[in-house]
Structure 1
Amino acid sequence: MIETGITPPPYRITPLQQIAKGGRWRTEAMRAYSQPVLYWFTRGQGRLTVQGVTHGYGAHNAVMLPAGTMHGFDTLGQVAGVVIFFPNDPELNLPDEPMHLRLRDGQAQAEMSHQVENIQRELDLGPDASERALNHHAGLLGVWLERQAGPDWRDALETGGGASQRLAAAFTSLLERDFRNGRNVADYAAQLGITPTHLSRACKAASGRPASALVQDRVHYEARKLLRETRMPVKDVAQALGFRSAAYFTRAFQQKTGMTPSAFRRGA
């Protein structure tokens, strides 16, 4: 894990519109958080990629992701909602696998909004907010999500999807673990015991994007995050992300974003 000097609060709720203001890379590029997160989309639609598999999402969709789950989403027009960050605490018993709920029933939609409001109301107390109360709200939310998903939701995950989706999920797990080591598609394919062509074909089938695009996306999301949110020198960012030199990193970054790392940082 790269030390950024920034310690996020254990609980926080951020409007999706606020995240999107930072640029399309803040939502679309592949990333993973060190905390469990819940996306609650209340308006709009788009495409969501989780563990290398792309699905559509719409209004009143709840997406629960365990810590370390690689994901990104794009939007078709304006999207409203929130993302809730939880402590990475196993005692909360939040769902330990990605979960995507499409809440079509009006009562379920209202109950989900009420769950979010309970957490927000406690956070609004500021210094007087009780972590014990927040933990209870989080635990109740986790139970509610699993009830909505049904008793067999884990079994459906194991049996659902085709070979391409399972391979894409395995690949993104390796990518999230090793993207700082300068590895390429051939390296990941070798770890999975397949050819690079097979891996890229599977990723293309699962997400519409080749494996190389997912690798670049994850690395350059982290690069932009470090450049915007830390004072780490460019050469240290390059080293932290497995580039052979600062010059090579600068060329790759400029090719991806259209500007040098220094120019991108100045635009923060």
Structure 2
Amino acid sequence: MAELNANIPQFGLYGEAVVDDPALVHIENIASRSRENGWLIKPHRHGRMFQLLFVFDGHLDITIDEEYSSLKAPCVITLPAGVVHGFKFSPETEGAVLTLAEPLLTNESYIRCEPYFGPLFAKARLFSLEGRSVVQEMLAGYLKQIEAELRAVHLGHKLITEWLSRSVLMLLRRLMLESEEQGVEVSTTPVVQYRKLIESHLLQHWSVEQYADALSISADHLNRLCKAEVGKTAKAIVQERLLLEAKRRLIYTRGSVEELAFGLGFKDAAYFSRFFKQATGETPASFRKNNNFDTY
């Protein structure tokens, strides 16, 4: 599958080159990209984005990792990062595409949500909203609010879009729960479990081999899974998370760089500084000076 994916286009949003720092939340109607492409979206994947496709009127043929399905509105399709997908919509299909960037799903504020949302990100899922008019109306309402906030410049509009997006996810998780109660098995991928372990052992500086042992798989297998699902090595994932934590502490705490390094589990402050500069191009002290928020 990894070799197959290597030949499949990888986009930020469909038709756009991959970007290193995408907006955390993006929404657009289905027609905005599909109409100009003859209502056909060719198979592709997103390396660092989780997408939700909402179809409120019309029907579509969908390909997900070489599996084909025909769906009719109303329905929702969830597409984790790395999943190959393509669509053929009926003309004038009505609906929306909500895109959530990876940082929104891995940052500190997400940790409390992970036990609820983790299963949603484990694999692509199809949700029928037929006979669920209340849920459909709630989802449509949240999507309209997200769109309005993204167009506005009001105080806290970015935070509100994140909260509304999580409200959408919670509604879908409740639909999943109904399926679970009916005996449908829900599993999590090793990569999802890997991210959870990183949150528990980040400051212990576990090696990829230690994480793999905890998951009862080989380090090579874990690395292949990470590359296939998110386009990054297992080591890169843990180092990005460590770097994010370092940036947060540099900005929002007032301890010395040496204290911060030890707090992050580095035994040597000089090694921490080299790690940070190699990743960002600037020293920890310079980064803090350029991002000097008042936290007193």
TM-score by length of 2: 0.49
- For residues 115 and 143 of structure 2, the distance between their equivalents in structure 1, rounded to whole angstroms, comes to 18
Taking structure 1 as reference, are residues 47 and 195 closer, same or farther at Cα in structure 2, changes over 3 Å only?
closer
Q: Is 1:158 aligned to residue 178 of structure 2?
A: no
- 1:194 CA displacement: 2.6
- 1:256 CA displacement: 0.8
- 1:230 CA displacement: 2.0
Partner residue of 1:220? 243
Q: Is 1:61 aligned to residue 91 of structure 2?
A: no
Q: Match for 1:183 among 178, 201, 206?
A: 206
Q: Which runs of 5+ in 2 are unaligned?
A: 1-19, 34-44, 51-79, 86-94, 130-135, 148-153, 155-162, 292-296
RMSD: 5.1
Identity percentage over the alignment? Answer: 27
Which of structures 1 and 2 has the bigger CA Rg?
2
Taking structure 1 as reference, are residues 147 and 265 closer, same or farther at Cα in structure 2, changes over 3 Å only?
closer
CA contact (8 A) 2:82 2:228 kept: no
Partner residue of 1:260? 283
- For residues 152 and 218 of structure 1, the distance between their equivalents in structure 2, rounded to whole angstroms, comes to 33
- 1:145 CA displacement: 1.7
Q: Match for 1:70 among 89, 101, 106?
A: 106
Partner residue of 2:142? 112
CA contact (8 A) 1:179 1:215 kept: yes
Partner residue of 1:97? 117
SS in 1 for 2:81: strand
Taking structure 1 as reference, are residues 95 and 59 closer, same or farther at Cα in structure 2, changes over 3 Å only?
farther
SS in 2 for 1:54: coil
State the AA in 2 paired with 1:54.
Answer: A
- For residues 115 and 208 of structure 2, the distance between their equivalents in structure 1, rounded to whole angstroms, comes to 30
Q: Match for 1:41 among 26, 29, 44?
A: 26
Partner residue of 1:80? none
Q: Is 1:239 aligned to residue 267 of structure 2?
A: no
Q: Which runs of 5+ in 1 are unaligned?
A: 1-23, 29-38, 73-84, 118-123, 125-136, 160-164
- For residues 176 and 49 of structure 1, the distance between their equivalents in structure 2, rounded to whole angstroms, comes to 20
The higher-RCO structure (CA 8 Å, 6+ apart) is 1
Aligned residue runs from structure 1 range 124-135, under 5 A: none
Q: What do the CA deviations read for 1:184-228 (whole angstroms, capped 9, x no partner)?
A: 212212222332212111111121111000011000011111112
State the AA in 1 paired with 2:210.
Answer: D
Partner residue of 2:193? 170
- For residues 224 and 143 of structure 1, the distance between their equivalents in structure 2, rounded to whole angstroms, comes to 28
CA contact (8 A) 1:54 1:206 kept: yes
CA contact (8 A) 2:116 2:170 kept: no
- 1:46 CA displacement: 6.3
State the AA in 1 paired with 2:234.
Answer: A
Taking structure 1 as reference, are residues 55 and 200 closer, same or farther at Cα in structure 2, changes over 3 Å only?
closer
State the AA in 1 paired with 2:186.
Answer: E
CA contact (8 A) 2:202 2:242 kept: yes
TM-score by length of 1: 0.53
State the AA in 1 paired with 2:27.
Answer: T
Partner residue of 1:145? 171
Matched residues, number = 195
SS in 2 for 1:41: strand
- For residues 175 and 145 of structure 2, the distance between their equivalents in structure 1, rounded to whole angstroms, comes to 16
- For residues 95 and 142 of structure 1, the distance between their equivalents in structure 2, rounded to whole angstroms, comes to 16
State the AA in 2 paired with 1:61.
Answer: L
